[in-house]
Amino acid sequence: MKENYAFIDSQNLHLALKDCGVTLDYRKFRQFLRDKYQVGSAIMYFGYIKEREPMYAFFRRCGFEIVFKKTAKQGGKWKGNIDVKLTIDVIDRMYEYDKAILVTNDGDFADLVEYLSSEKQFLRVIAPTQNKCSHLLKAAAQGSIQYIDTHHKKLLEN
């Protein structure tokens, strides 16, 4: 039997929880994905910044696979939008996994959720926060959505 995969919008996850004043315990989160949803591969998407190598190493030690998108500096800030890369990977890797879990609040992934549902390969959205989660994403998930800030507080560090 194939395992489930989790595809994680790392920036969205981090910033949404930071806005709430909380931090995710990534080791507990990885174990939670394994235990609750039988996630074999938990894949985090990042815009690559060389200075953040220690952070990437930490996530690898926690059991996450890391996928990078090239970045460019715009107006003094790094930009590395991962939405398209994540979407392509979810579709390209469909033969590898049983069901997909998306970890994001971003409504840009609503179409992907609908596509995965039509292919019977969607399991759940795990959104960082209920109040910042896109209405489009909530509608696409059709009730198969959980929120870290309300359902899984044991995963948070305060």
Q: Provide mean pLDDT across the span 35-50.
A: 94
More confident residue, 74 or 27: 27
Q: What is the pLDDT of residues 78-104, one digit of tens each?
A: 666 789 999 999 999 999 999 999 999
Comparing CA positions, the residue from 122, 121, 142, 145 lying closest to residue 132 is 145
Q: Provide DSSP, 94-150.
A: TTT-S-EEEE---GGGHHHHHHHHHTT-EEEEEES-STTS-HHHHHHHTT-EEEHHH
Percent of the chain with pLDDT over 70: 93
The number of distinct structural domains making up the chain is 1
Residue 70: is its pLDDT beyond 90? no
What is the domain range of residue 30?
A: 4-157
Q: Quick one: pLDDT at residue 57?
A: 96
Q: For residue 90, give the CATH number of its domain.
A: 3.40.50.1010
